[in-house]
Structure 1
């Protein structure tokens, strides 16, 4: 009995999620991605060709029905063929998709129960509706206290498991009341706002700013965790992975939405603001705002982050996958 797990190549959050959930599963997991097999994954890995190199011409959306289905592209054709061949040969009991509307549809057309890892934001477009409609279950890596305004039929198949990160389960050190360190946790989610960071440093002379790139490289994990534990305040974008790691460390935070398709990060910021978990901003602030923002962040009770990430998100997601794999109703 095998579970396949498709990992999108953009950013590091999809891969970190897969590694956390795979570690919590009792069933073997085959990773499926155009990313290189990570050192942390001990199971099989189906290596896929890229479908965006060379950059395709013409319509890649099938007239708006899909997100990415370039015509006549060898990489796209070959990756779909490899997935189909693997399904035929291995006959997995479930296919997790994080994220691709096209792979979700392919899995269901091949007769495999599909579990889609959901994303925040406006997912009412045709491709997302297709992916969510064909899924036996959706895993939402955020708490039920901050739901998305989805149709009832979709919510009925959605398991709100809470956030999960590679740092879940690590002991959290008490905050140092004398720390004046601001950690900017950025990384694979987009370009570093270097000019804005320089202006923020200049506007807060009593604070020491440090930077971590949040790399998926295994060797960087311990260093990122150390920096999180030493920080008095964390500044990060509103990507799911970055917020999950700050929540795991239980550190005060200023979370700033970055432009993303479907307003994903704006939706996360709105949820954090509603739950009063962080100083949550829709845009990068003006330099003169930073002293007040850091003061507001440090006044928030850090333990409130347990509402977002209590360390059991991966275990809950694994429970959903195992129910689907055994043919049981989920969530």
Structure 2
């Protein structure tokens, strides 16, 4: 039987966890998820809940604000959480002897796994990730996994990176047939950003009185609530609400983009600022392919009627093309094959 697979899950947003669970559920090989905040959130999949590595204080921005080796992104000095999580990962590797470690995402965890003599699969997110730490993590990986269609790839990608990349759209998303509410515009605010301004959503709803606007995720409540606007907060059926909407409005995060494409939804994509132009680069490709309407900034109220109408004219065949060749099962079979190959290669060289 194949040796176990380890899967590191980053704790920013929720897309990493959803992707990991979909792949883990499709694997026949034993798998353990490792990450912060996993306790009680991995269903039937084995998991190790790691201490938090974030520095205390409001407004944490993912930086350690100190000098570091040029191959690393985040290595704060004298941080007990970092120390303990490093020890737990290394101890799990030593005891379990995994055949493969999937890293979604962390340059430091990828380096740690390689130092512990484990081949890695590094998950490549969208954006222009051509800095020294990312390139070293890509170079050190046995393979790279991109959770999107190759047509959504950034321009000027080095050939060596493309050659190592396994493209896999729709890992955690499956389309279901539901009745579409032709007058509903769904605003989606993800976990990865801050609270959205209710006033902006109110302006958009007021400018399009023929549509009912529903907003899910964290948002402030406007002082003047138009009658065609409803704030739902966090919901358990976001996927169903996306499927039922006539138009979806939101940022360019992996989870939302994947769900919109899976359900062939007309999409107004307003990318948020992220490191390495992650959302901007993805939105550029969506716009270039005609898969989304992408305003440069949050629209003025008077622009919303035209934006919604343009979105409704998007050809659903574009989304169908961008979801072809996806699925968690396909990724699971690839990982198992890759794990077996690396084990055989090590056995021959021993």
TM above 0.5, yes or no, is yes
Higher deviation after alignment, 146-155 or 53-62: 53-62
Unmatched 5+ stretches in structure 2 = 219-233, 344-350
Alpha carbons 1:68, 1:102 under 8 Å: kept: yes
SS in 1 for 2:186: strand
Correspondence list, 1:269-284, <5 A: 269-284=283-298
Correspondence list, 1:26-37, <5 A: 26-37=28-39
Shift of 1:141: 1.1
Distance 1:309 1:193, change over 3 A: farther
RMSD of equivalent CA atoms: 2.2
Following TM superposition, the consecutive aligned residue runs of length 4 or more in structure 1 with deviations greater than 6 angstroms are none
- Residue in 1 that maps onto 2:82: 76
Shift of 1:311: 7.5
- Residue in 2 that maps onto 1:120: 126
- Residue in 1 that maps onto 2:15: 13
- Residue in 2 that maps onto 1:244: 258
SS in 1 for 2:294: strand
User: Are residues 1:188 and 2:191 paired?
Assistant: yes
The count of corresponding residues between Structure 1 and Structure 2 is 320
TM-score (norm. length: structure 1) = 0.90
Distance 1:271 1:288 in 2: 26
TM-score (norm. length: structure 2) = 0.85
Alpha carbons 1:235, 1:255 under 8 Å: kept: yes
Higher deviation after alignment, 296-305 or 72-81: 296-305
Correspondence list, 1:298-317, <5 A: 298-310=312-324, 312-317=326-331
Distance 1:201 1:311, change over 3 A: farther
Shift of 1:52: 1.4
- Residue in 1 that maps onto 2:163: 156
Shift of 1:249: 1.8
SS in 1 for 2:76: coil
Distance 1:123 1:300, change over 3 A: same
Distance 1:311 1:198, change over 3 A: farther
- Residue in 1 that maps onto 2:205: 201
Shift of 1:328: 5.4
Correspondence list, 1:79-158, <5 A: 79-148=85-154, 149-158=156-165
Deviation per CA, 1:183-210: give whole Å up to 9, x if none: 0111202122323212111211111100
Which is higher, the Rg of structure 1 or of structure 2?
2
Distance 2:240 2:269 in 1: 20
Alpha carbons 2:113, 2:120 under 8 Å: kept: yes
